[in-house]
Amino acid sequence: MEIAGNTNTEIQNFERVYINFTPSIPPLKKVKDKTTINVRYCVIEPFAYIHIYWDPKISEVIYKIEEPVLSREESKYLEQLLLAMRSLINYDSVVENDQESLLDHIDKRLKFLAVELGMTMDYESYKKIYYYLCRDFIGFNEIEPLLRDYFVEDIECNGGTTPVYLVHRVFRNLKTTLVYKDLDKLGGFVEKLAQRCGKYISYADPILDGSLPDGSRVNATYTKDISSKGPTFTIRKFTKTPWTPPQLIGFNTLSPEMLAYLWMMVQYKMNILIAGGTSSGKTTLLNAMAFFIPPEARVVSIEDTRELNLPRDNWLPSVSRGATGAKKIGEVDLFTLLKGSFRQNPDYVIVGEVRGKEAYVLFQGMASGHSSISTIHADSVDAVIRRLETPPIELSPSLLNVLDCVCIMTHAIVNNQETRRLKEIVEVINVSSEGVATTNTPFVWNPVDDQFYFKRDSKILTKIAQRHGLNFEEIDLEFKRRVKLIYQLYKNKITGFEEVQKAVNDYYKHPKEILEKFGIE
């Protein structure tokens, strides 16, 4: 049965379809009772929606992708057009060109091919087909709505015939309605991921580790030899707008006192390591701390894959580059980047994660007066020291004395909800030649009542006072003012990326005016 509608010559006069890949972000709140979850929001306007709801049949929260439903004839037309357009569209131009010109390009090609292939369709069918062509050529096929969802952190495909899972910022681990039933189609999609990462994947080289153009991290496998369910992929999305400090208070990730303390650490150029397990919120905290870097300071960051997004102009981001071939031609590793960064006159050096020989350069930089912030995989200060002292890092215990404090991030289950907490902030007082650390812990999180406690005995604040010729009362007063300011930002719902950065920058430049504005003495 043909689609009723316009003749192929009239199709040429259709106006270009409106499509918006970045609709406004809806406000979502955590729900204590999972059985009451029922939310729906748009991710690609006006075509793709997400419906998250409790399914009583399986007693799980489901993440349903809602896209236009195609009739049999519309599906047939779409297949013909996809096949024909692959030979007409330059793939490199799809990746490199701006989105608006690509949308216009697809519109013209669709009209041309519809006429050439003798298709007849009405405007409603035309709009649906146009959406799927844009989704597949500009985006990433079936997972494009997930990538466009602001709330999605990780996308996990464990192979064919099983649902794709994801990690949602609000509702955490969710099963989606997306299932790859065709392994060849899934393999083709993994090839597309490799192509967009600028890499190659094949039966001979079946593991992919790379970054998409937007900075999202991709790990994939290609054959049944590697994963029994067929090709797999995991995508950790790059967050263009990181969580701000007041937002982290809203999530109860940490307290205003902790943030004020970290603000003091950052301003006075203390050296900080953020430790924790995989996906425990280390980079989230690192991004939040970056708001406190003075506006005039020069920052150099070094990462394996781009995850940092610092709200500032005087920032030089560097990303390592993998090698090609057996001789490692073209490799630029973290060690090389970090060594070069100290020649770029940085006030602050940020390393996405230390796990190898680059740690030696980082700690040498700390010793020479370059304030440094980095993350490391470890769940305690003792574990941090063990990792730094043993292969492949093998730092001298005496060099660890340049480290001022360690923030321990952790996964936690609170009220049956998976969340993240800043478990403790530990000050490193001294590390002996045997590698035994003397520490002080001014801040701890108590999992019993989900509260943060401040011991009011900070050795680092005392060190700051001595180093800068201030008395402790002045430092303590400044600390209290910042606690109140951060809380007022949260209370007044000043949580936007640019709003928070402006408030912090204004406080550096005109502290009295900002304190008066928020009624702080």
* Total Cβ atoms within 10 A of residue 118: 8
Residue 508 scores a pLDDT above 60? yes
- Residues contacting 107, CB < 8 A, separation 6+: 16, 17, 130
Global pTM?
A: 0.79
Cis bond before residue 317 (omega within 30° of 0)? no
Residue 362 scores a pLDDT above 50? yes
Residue 326 scores a pLDDT above 50? no
Name the residue among 289, 339, 332 with its Cα closest to residue 310: 289
Predicted local confidence at residue 325, as pLDDT: 46
Q: Please report the domains of the chain, with CATH numbers, ordered by start residue.
A: 8-236 (3.30.450.380), 245-517 (3.40.50.300)
Name the residue among 211, 213, 255 with its Cα closest to residue 236: 211
Q: pLDDT tens digits for 1-55? A: 445 555 566 888 899 999 999 999 888 988 888 999 999 999 999 999 999 999 9
* 279: phi then psi, degrees, rounded to nearest 5: 55, 35
DSSP 416-443: TEEEEEEEEEEEEEEE-TTSPEEEEEEE
Output 310 or 216, whichever has higher pLDDT: 216
Model confidence band, residue 94 (pLDDT cutoffs 50, 70, 90):
low
Predicted local confidence at residue 513, as pLDDT: 95
Give the percent of the chain with pLDDT over 90.
62
Q: What SS3 state is found at 315?
A: strand
Q: pLDDT tens digits for 109-149? A: 999 999 888 898 999 999 999 999 999 988 999 999 999 99
Predicted local confidence at residue 493, as pLDDT: 92
DSSP 203-271: SSS-EEEEE-TTS-EEEEE-STTT-TTS-EEEEE---SSPPPHHHHHHTTSS-HHHHHHHHHHHHTT--
What average pLDDT does this structure show over 499-510? 95
Q: Which residue has the tokens 């992919």?
A: 208
Predicted local confidence at residue 425, as pLDDT: 97
- 119 vs 133: CA distance, rounded Å: 16
Crossing angle between the packed helical segments 282-290 and 256-267, to the nearest 10 degrees: 60
Residue 98 scores a pLDDT above 70? yes
Rg of the chain's alpha carbons, rounded to an integer? 26
Predicted local confidence at residue 479, as pLDDT: 96
Q: List beta partners, residue 332.
A: 321
Cis bond before residue 231 (omega within 30° of 0)? no
For the record, the structure tokens of 501 come out as: 């950065």
Residue 329 scores a pLDDT above 70? no
Output 310 or 479, whichever has higher pLDDT: 479
- 483 vs 266: CA distance, rounded Å: 15
